[in-house]
Chains A and B, each alone.
Chain A
């Protein structure tokens, strides 16, 4: 049997596509196999309702690594992210808080709730800017292998240590707080107003089955700040054509370098011979061979489904089974007949062109988490909504709009059993619409179509185990050299010639591209391919 390919990549998520592009650019023969009819995985655009293109899952971009855009010529292939200017928080009492890129405008808004907070806010941003410098050390390099004494690994570890040390004692102290504290405790160090802390704290729980008071969530907060080197809001943006636009630019780049991409080609298993991956077998029985196989799937799926328990050492098996996925969120996408209007700030002004948070207080968020702890979705959830059509009208017919709502908490393991989620799907959708309608009275009459995705649906359609949006929680014990498991973290797996390039590897989730890039670069520099 001739090995036609240097690498087969299972999964056409943005990381798989980026990995393919880097390998193809280096002259390797690459084949990407995607289960669905569309590319992108969780970064996907689909015309779910005629004329309306939804960013079905992920909806905003911020962490994407700029050097990948340059190295893969993504701008040429259609990558375009338009920055958002505002973070809007409507409140039930008719008040609201909008935070803008313009610092004085933000200060005036925040001062209505706390004068002190309004002035401390730029100081907080300054500190977080420094923390963001860590991004270079943490995100842009493979995690150091702490078990290795290879000079390169030691240099890698030292570089990480130096980046922390360079923060200086004050900031280093803060960093230790960031790593150990809860998001809320961390914000309490600066701010006094609930109205400000509530929408800021949610960055610490996105995609995590934890509350804003759970220790460790401060780190997730930092994770969300890392990509934002030039200010708090500036670098969150809308990808033109939806988040699938990012994936399609990656795909076009990969193809321009010669990579081959097949959709509707679900992989059943990795072929393993004498402990070595030799290719894959598709659901339709076709066998395809390659010198290496790279999985863009989450660690659970890669090890337990693609490889299979029989090929795994007991230690690895144990660790993989313990790897926390615990999906905690869902998504509701609405096609609207006209612009939704908030009763607290009517009109289609700039305040609704950015992200809109339904997070009217600390207790509200904690209560939402309480329900999730006991296996129910929150009856009044945290919602992060965007109306991308205000910025990118090409997504819907003229005058019509899309409202894309990320909803937390929706635990995968509801008490009725995850497989019963389909029975509660519409009730979940109703909850979200009812919650929004408290702020947007006319909403229900404007809805032309609604798409509800529970964690169960995310698992079924996108192959995200337990519906975890990051292919594994971003808790500290599952990051860096412990992502996904301590023994096999550097994109390698316990199976020879099988690699991983999805967000289940370092540095983790988000439309960031780093996992795909670093996997490819690690394979190339170690001459694994």
Chain B
């Protein structure tokens, strides 16, 4: 039986569609209205407010906190500056990804970590020898994502933080009407946006303050359906959809290295030992087997298939997450890989997908064949390998008061 998050009194009052799902043991709204379109456009045009409390959250403190996290993460956390956030993944001994999340450095000896799976037991396996304290604060800290072009303006009305100076992937402490929140300029929409972390007791006050301030900026509560569309547009991968936690994978073939899931850029090999280092070093030298790529699925061809059946081309406005076979352009009997999630992008007007393909097919511009079913009959249409990041607006990283120092 899922639990309500601290925002439930507000979210449940607003969720007219009655569409909920379970997320990490909590109730989460799929969409507040029957169709999620307005929520999607809020993320892209104004601001959407999303309850992300079900994420797992950990606090790591102590003199060895940075060294300890560096031992676990594929990135070198010792190099992370105070007030900065690092997007990371962490691996088992064989260099296979266990989970991904963010690490925020709040102080010399204080870090805040988010993850998709419970990781307390995994992290604590490596505690020995480090002067650190690891605490699971998942049930004490609530999270809100305020995402979209007007999010900065809204947040300015609510708190005292220097938001014009807060850079992409930076974090700071702020005060809202007498209580404290942590703000990080992060999110899962690939747009300008913030995530706010607040103690349970102040959660509703924070929600109310943001919603009130957002009135003039077209704020809307947004659910996971809209988020799912934006995250595919942004090329952000999702655990249990685009890859699997190595500790839970039933067979080895379901495990992936960071290189294979487009997170190779996060791997910092040349440093003190960390989990999976040797295996990742070897993989870097020998090459990986798989790669996650973006697929731009040919629209005219798809349209044609629909027209042939006398139908207009209608795609669901929901992002999908089922495995779809991808074939080589030359020979439709040879499978090059499989798509794991995709969506019709309302803003790009493109049919896009994230796919895992054999390494030899991962070059940008490579033509592949994507399986589609039109009126119960299977066909393939051409799909071009592209960057996973389909949508990347300038505002995402733009900082008005870009401090030169």
Do A and B originate from a single complex? yes
Please list the residues of chain A having a beta carbon within 8 angstroms of any beta carbon in chain B. 102, 104-105, 107-108, 115-120, 122-123, 126, 129-130, 168
The digit string for B112-141, where 1 denotes a CB below 8 A from any CB of A, is 000000111110100000000000100000
Q: Is the CB of B121 within 8 A of A119?
A: yes
Take A104-B24, A123-B248, A130-B250 as given contacts and tell me if A115 and B2 are in contact as well, using a CB distance cutoff of 8 Å: no
Take A104-B25, A105-B25, A108-B25 as given contacts and tell me if A116 and B120 are in contact as well, using a CB distance cutoff of 8 Å: yes
Q: When chains A and B are docked, how far (Å) is the Cα of A385 from the Cα of B247?
A: 34
Q: Is the CB of A126 within 8 A of B250?
A: yes
Q: Is the CB of A122 within 8 A of B248?
A: yes
A110 to chain B, nearest CB (A): 11
B55 to chain A, nearest CB (A): 14
- B119 closest partner in A (C-beta): A119
Is B1 engaged at the interface, CB distance under 8 Å to the other chain?
Answer: yes
Q: Is the CB of A104 within 8 A of B248?
A: no
Q: Is the CB of A119 within 8 A of B120?
A: yes
Q: Is the CB of A119 within 8 A of B248?
A: no
Please list the residues of chain B having a beta carbon within 8 angstroms of any beta carbon in chain A. 1-3, 22, 24-25, 118-122, 124, 136, 247-248, 250, 252
Q: When chains A and B are docked, how far (Å) is the Cα of A497 from the Cα of B261?
A: 63
A212 to chain B, nearest CB (A): 24
Q: Is the CB of A116 within 8 A of B118?
A: no
Q: Is the CB of A104 within 8 A of B250?
A: no
Residues from chain B with a CB closer than 8 A to the CB of A116 are 120-121, 124
Q: Is the CB of B118 within 8 A of A107?
A: yes
Residues from chain A with a CB closer than 8 A to the CB of B1 are 102, 105
Take A104-B25, A105-B25, A107-B25 as given contacts and tell me if A118 and B118 are in contact as well, using a CB distance cutoff of 8 Å: yes
Residues from chain B with a CB closer than 8 A to the CB of A102 are 1
Residues from chain A with a CB closer than 8 A to the CB of B250 are 126, 129-130
Residues from chain B with a CB closer than 8 A to the CB of A108 are 3, 25
A122 to chain B, nearest CB (A): 6
Residues from chain A with a CB closer than 8 A to the CB of B120 are 115-116, 119
Q: Of the candidates B3, B22, B118, B252, which one forms a contact with A119 in the assembled complex, judged by CB atoms under 8 Å apart?
A: B118
A148 to chain B, nearest CB (A): 34
Q: When chains A and B are docked, how far (Å) is the Cα of A108 from the Cα of B24?
A: 11
- B120 closest partner in A (C-beta): A115
- B249 closest partner in A (C-beta): A126
Residues from chain A with a CB closer than 8 A to the CB of B121 are 115-120
Q: When chains A and B are docked, how far (Å) is the Cα of A29 from the Cα of B1?
A: 53
- B125 closest partner in A (C-beta): A116
- A122 closest partner in B (C-beta): B248
- A102 closest partner in B (C-beta): B1
B267 to chain A, nearest CB (A): 25
Query: Top 5 nearest A-B pairs by Cβ distance?
Result: A104-B25, A119-B121, A116-B121, A119-B118, A115-B120
Q: Of the candidates A104, A115, A117, which one forms a contact with B22 in the assembled complex, judged by CB atoms under 8 Å apart?
A: A104
Residues from chain A with a CB closer than 8 A to the CB of B118 are 107, 118-119
- B3 closest partner in A (C-beta): A108
Residues from chain A with a CB closer than 8 A to the CB of B248 are 122-123, 126
Q: When chains A and B are docked, how far (Å) is the Cα of A467 from the Cα of B374?
A: 64
B4 to chain A, nearest CB (A): 13
Residues from chain B with a CB closer than 8 A to the CB of A126 are 248, 250
Q: Is the CB of B24 within 8 A of A123?
A: no
Most chain B beta carbons < 10 A, residue from A104, A105, A168: A104
Q: When chains A and B are docked, how far (Å) is the Cα of A118 from the Cα of B124?
A: 13
Q: A119-B118, A130-B250 are in contact. List 4 more A-B contacts (CB 8 A).
A: A108-B3, A115-B121, A126-B250, A168-B252
Residues from chain B with a CB closer than 8 A to the CB of A105 are 1, 25
Q: When chains A and B are docked, how far (Å) is the Cα of A511 from the Cα of B25?
A: 34
A102 to chain B, nearest CB (A): 7
Q: When chains A and B are docked, how far (Å) is the Cα of A119 from the Cα of B25?
A: 13
Q: Is the CB of B247 within 8 A of A123?
A: yes
Q: When chains A and B are docked, how far (Å) is the Cα of A126 from the Cα of B244?
A: 13
Q: When chains A and B are docked, how far (Å) is the Cα of A108 from the Cα of B54?
A: 13
B314 to chain A, nearest CB (A): 36
Residues from chain A with a CB closer than 8 A to the CB of B24 are 104
Most chain A beta carbons < 10 A, residue from B25, B118, B121: B121
- B1 closest partner in A (C-beta): A105
Q: When chains A and B are docked, how far (Å) is the Cα of A107 from the Cα of B248?
A: 15
Q: When chains A and B are docked, how far (Å) is the Cα of A148 from the Cα of B124?
A: 52
- A350 closest partner in B (C-beta): B1
Q: Is the CB of A119 within 8 A of B2?
A: no
